[in-house]
Structure 1
Amino acid sequence: MSAEMDKHILKEAAGAFATDGAAVSCERYGSGHINDTFRLICENRPYILQRMNTDIFQDPVSLMRNIEGVTTFLRQEVIKNSGDPDRETLNLIKTREGAPFYVDSRGNYWRMYLFIEGATCYNLVEKPEDFYQSGKAFGHFQRLLSQYPARELAETIPGFHDTPGRFRAFRKAVEEDICGRASEVQNEIRFAMDREQDMGLAMDMLAKGELPLRVTHNDTKLNNIMIDDKTGQAICIIDLDTVMPGLSIFDFGDSIRFGANTAQEDETDLSRVSLSIPLFEIYTRGFLEGCAGSLTGAEVKMLPQGSRLMTLECGIRFLTDYLSGDTYFKTAREKHNLDRCRTQFGLVADMEKKWGEMERIVEDVCKGLDKNKTKVKPG
Structure 2
Amino acid sequence: MEQTRIEKIFNQFNHNTSFKTEKELISGHINDSYVIETQGEQSFVLQRINHNVFKDVPRLINNKILVSAHLKSKFKDLSEAELSRKVLSFVACNDGAYFYRDETGNYWNLSVFVSDSFTHDVVDSETVAYEGGKLFGAFLNLTSDFNPERLIEVIPDFHDMSFRFSQFEAALKQASEKRMERAKFCIDKVFELKEEMHILQHLKTSGQLKLRVTHNDTKISNALFDKNDKGLCVIDTDTVMPGIIHYDFGDAIRTICNTAAEDETNLDLVTFNVAYYKAYKKGFLETMGETLSPLELKYLPLGAKTMTFIMALRFLTDYLNNDIYYKTAYSEHNLNRSKNQFKLIQSFSEQLEHL
Q: What TM-score bracket applies, with the shorter chain setting the length? A: 0.7 to 0.9
Q: Please, which moves more after superposition, 184-193 or 246-255?
A: 184-193
3-state SS of paired residue (1:78): coil
Equivalence for 1:258 = 255
Contact 2:71 2:142 in 1 (8 A): yes
Contact 2:122 2:259 in 1 (8 A): no
TM-aligned CA deviation for residue 70 of structure 1 = 0.7
2:15 to 4, 19, 26: 19
Change (3 A) 1:309 1:76: same
3-state SS of paired residue (2:75): helix
Q: Unaligned stretches of 5+ in structure 1?
A: 359-379
Equivalence for 1:299 = 296
Residue pairs, 1:1-379, within 5 angstroms: 7=3, 9-20=5-16, 22-23=17-18, 25-28=20-23, 30-32=25-27, 34-41=31-38, 43=40, 45-79=42-76, 84-105=82-103, 107-179=105-177, 181-182=179-180, 186-229=184-227, 232-333=229-330, 335-358=332-355
Q: Identical aligned pairs, as a percentage? A: 34
Contact 1:179 1:325 in 2 (8 A): no
RMSD: 2.9
1:114-153 CA deviation, whole Å, 9 max, x = no partner? 3333433344423221122112111111111111111221
TM-aligned CA deviation for residue 275 of structure 1 = 1.4
3-state SS of paired residue (2:140): helix
Q: In structure 2, how many angstroms separate the alpha carbons of the residues matched to 1:217 and 1:61? A: 18
Q: In structure 1, how many angstroms separate the alpha carbons of the residues matched to 2:9 and 2:329? A: 36
Contact 1:24 1:42 in 2 (8 A): yes
Letter in 1 for 2:12: A
TM-aligned CA deviation for residue 244 of structure 1 = 1.8
Q: Please, which moves more after superposition, 178-187 or 131-140?
A: 178-187
TM-aligned CA deviation for residue 302 of structure 1 = 1.0
Contact 1:275 1:347 in 2 (8 A): yes
Contact 2:249 2:300 in 1 (8 A): yes
Contact 1:19 1:42 in 2 (8 A): no
Q: In structure 2, how many angstroms separate the alpha carbons of the residues matched to 1:270 and 1:234? A: 30
Change (3 A) 1:29 1:329: closer
TM-aligned CA deviation for residue 74 of structure 1 = 0.9
Q: In structure 2, how many angstroms separate the alpha carbons of the residues matched to 1:13 and 1:172? A: 39
- Give the TM-score taking structure 1 as reference length: 0.81
Contact 1:93 1:113 in 2 (8 A): yes
Task: State how many pairs are aligned.
Answer: 352
TM-aligned CA deviation for residue 62 of structure 1 = 1.2
Letter in 2 for 1:248: I
1:341-375 CA deviation, whole Å, 9 max, x = no partner? 333222222322222222xxxxxxxxxxxxxxxxx
3-state SS of paired residue (1:98): coil
Change (3 A) 1:42 1:78: farther
Change (3 A) 1:160 1:39: same
Contact 1:266 1:339 in 2 (8 A): yes
3-state SS of paired residue (1:119): coil
Contact 1:164 1:199 in 2 (8 A): no
Question: Which of structures 1 and 2 has the bigger CA Rg?
Answer: 1
1:289-341 CA deviation, whole Å, 9 max, x = no partner? 22222222211111100111111222222333344444444455564444333
1:56-79 CA deviation, whole Å, 9 max, x = no partner? 434221111111111111110122
TM-aligned CA deviation for residue 183 of structure 1 = 5.4
Change (3 A) 1:125 1:174: same
Q: In structure 2, how many angstroms separate the alpha carbons of the residues matched to 1:117 and 1:276? A: 31
1:71-112 CA deviation, whole Å, 9 max, x = no partner? 111110122789932321011222333222233455443322
Change (3 A) 1:13 1:249: same
Q: In structure 1, how many angstroms separate the alpha carbons of the residues matched to 2:85 and 2:323? A: 41
Q: Please, which moves more after superposition, 120-129 or 163-172?
A: 120-129
